[in-house]
Chains A and B, each alone.
Chain A
């Protein structure tokens, strides 16, 4: 049985605490989720938009949707009206669970209402499909991954196993619930009957740290950007006695910082997990065991329990030797059914059969630990030579510049936020890589645009260059 079908076994355990001090038991989560379900008209399988904040009501909608075997699409509550209207047109949801206290919904609970859209939909929804998550983390993108109850439950189990989670954990939310990594923190802790500390405050705000201290958080999760914030606010000097676990995923943390955090964790007896994953695999694919963090901080580690990683070369043949780069392939029970870009894709069944080509380039060392070196799609060719845009970004960062890299064959673009440094950057890039100065352009920008989950929005940054 999946974790969300057996939440009742944790009874009076506290499932969630909010900053105002409100506490909710597992029993009340089940009770409210079942009231949510009672108000769904379930003659046919339903599609529900769930507008998420890190709050108990959103959790009720999410769990209610899962327990009713409807299909839920998780979206940020901050989504703008145009994006929501666009997605509504593309996916034709039956209901929207949203943070308004209208009282007009078919079910109203605290500050949320379940509203009927009145849309009639002829398209079928596959019986295995229960959850859709955005691939990009940017608001309004229609591309979603299609996930099953088994995907979600298997990934939650694997994560709970390697993190050695137990019911005394108190993770504080640092990521949005609609983002696969944020959701995986919730799922894996519900699996073991632990207590979620739900907040929407960010790491740079006083209320977050007050809540962290008063509620004695035991773990924190972050994407690389969050870890950069932690460094800047001198996290290493904070007195956070309750903190036992730190996890990092959502992109490659600069190795220098990864080592700093590994050293800090060693000193403070904190388990620091460097991890890797994709929404296409529900969330998690690999983890670096914390005892290896100091030695192998550049590595994404080994496959999660129940999964396997391998590499293939350009011809699709498996690579059987260490230190050879190839595309990373993941196989496991948490691999999505496939993508969707509109309601007509929701009838589709399993297109991947448990095998995911990640699009990431990696190698493994003699001990079988994997290292991601770039993304397949982030390569361009400059005068016939393969250029790894991520590698150039890392180089810029090592040189002390804040920049990102994009472009097309024979025309690379670099955007930097360092005022007046375009010429200097041009010189070091030419010097290091031997590119002809005309093969790339540098633009000084005020900001590197990022999505709510911290992913770099390359298209937005480079859209007005080179046209």
Chain B
């Protein structure tokens, strides 16, 4: 599985949404499933899934799926 698929699956599971709906333009607070509670589940799942510890700025800047990929780039996760 490539990293994009892995991240999509993490999003789908953490937010409890269909994997088809995880696209670049998916934004924080744009759907009821991605609220602050789900955001922290998502952050924890990304930490676990890629064996990293997201920094403060990255946790609060991760406002879309596209942005999540960009942020993970800083942790040497390639897409």
Contact = CB atoms under 8 A, between A and B. Distances in A.
Interface of A: 78, 202-206, 208-209, 225, 228-229, 232-234, 237-238, 417, 446-447, 450, 454
Interface stretch (B18-26, B39-47, B71-79): B39-47
A421 to B, nearest CB: 13
B56 A205 contact: no
Contacts of A446: 13-14, 16
B36 A202 contact: yes
B60 A450 contact: no
Interface in B43-60: 43, 55-56, 59-60
B61 interface: yes
B35 interface: yes
B58 to A, nearest CB: 10
B50 to A, nearest CB: 15
B28 interface: yes
B31 interface: no
Contacts of B43: 204, 232
B40 A232 contact: yes
A205 B16 contact: no
Contacts, number: 45
A204 B41 contact: no
B40 A205 contact: no
Question: How would you classify the secondary structure of chain A's contact residues: helix, strand, loop or mixed?
Answer: loop
A229 B36 contact: yes
Contacts of A233: 56, 59-60
Nearest to A238: B56
A233 B14 CA distance: 18
A234 B61 contact: no
B29 to A, nearest CB: 8
A209 B14 CA distance: 24
A202 B35 contact: yes
B60 A205 contact: yes
Closest CB pairs A-B (n = 6): A202-B36, A234-B56, A233-B56, A204-B39, A204-B36, A206-B60
Nearest to B32: A78
Contacts of A205: 28-29, 36, 60, 63
A450 B43 CA distance: 17
A247 to B, nearest CB: 19
A207 to B, nearest CB: 9
B37 interface: yes
A131 B14 CA distance: 37
